[in-house]
Amino acid sequence: MLKIIHFTVNGKKVELAVDERESLLDTLRNRLDLTSVKKGCEVGECGACTVLVDGEAIDSCIYLAMWADGKSVMTVEGLKGENGELSPIQRAFIEEAAVQCGFCTPGIIMSAVEIVGSGKRYTKDELRKLISGHLCRCTGYENILKAVERAVEETYLATHK
């Protein structure tokens, strides 16, 4: 059964007819060509498909597209600036060499956006726990953790002058 949904994706209003069984992952990746959203485990375990829905990081593989009706969805494509510049979080990942194959990176970056958006400071152990829902087979997570830590600290300092 099809349902018409209206939602905002990366700041743009979208209207789509979706099958009530269609995942948000499939909608974003296959129908809206937002290829930063990766299909990994399809059971909410690896974090490769993480996007923000109304500012909250979710696994889009286990989130139905129809649940996004009336909501705001953000993917990595929505992070770029007006002139295509990278976000501070993306720059932190590059500067800390936190990217290898890149498959898991968009999902981790989206979780980092939620973490940074909290406006809080975190210990390394707290950050490790906050990103623990992401599976990365290429890194030892140390540079990823450093990148998230750097983004949190830089944002905190910039907003608490």
Q: Which of 96, 133, 95 is nearest to 111 (CA)?
A: 133
Domain at 88-159: CATH code: 1.10.150.120
Q: How far apart are CA 48 and CA 46, in angstroms?
A: 6
Identity of the amino acid at 151: A
Residues 132-151: tens digit of each pLDDT: 999 998 888 999 999 999 99
Give the DSSP H or E segment for 60: none
Q: Which residue has the tokens 């939602």?
A: 7
Q: What is the DSSP letter of 48?
A: T
The distance of Cα 40 from the centroid of its chain, to the nearest Å, equals 14
What average pLDDT score do residues 100-121 get? 94
Residues 5-17: tens digit of each pLDDT: 999 999 999 999 9
Please give the pLDDT value at position 90. Answer: 96
Q: Would you say residue 161 has pLDDT above 90?
A: no
Name the residue ranges covered by the structural domains of the chain: 2-78, 88-159
Which residues are CB-contacts of 27 (< 8 A; sequence separation ≥ 6)? 16, 18, 65, 68
The answer to whether the predicted template modeling score (pTM) of the entire model surpasses 0.85 is: yes
Q: Which residues pair with 13 in a beta bridge?
A: 8
Q: What share of the chain is helix, strand, coil (3-state, %, to 5)?
A: 40, 20, 40
2-78 folds as: Ubiquitin-like (UB roll) (3.10.20)
Please give the pLDDT value at position 140. Answer: 80
Please give the pLDDT value at position 111. Answer: 97
Q: Please spell the DSSP secondary structure of 87-141, one letter per residue.
A: PHHHHHHHHTT--SS-SSHHHHHHHHHHHHHTT----HHHHHHHTTT---SSS-S
Sign of CA dihedral 132, 137, 143, 148: negative
* Comparison of pLDDT for 137 and 108, the residue scoring more: 108
Residues 51-94: tens digit of each pLDDT: 999 999 999 999 999 999 999 999 999 999 989 999 999 999 99
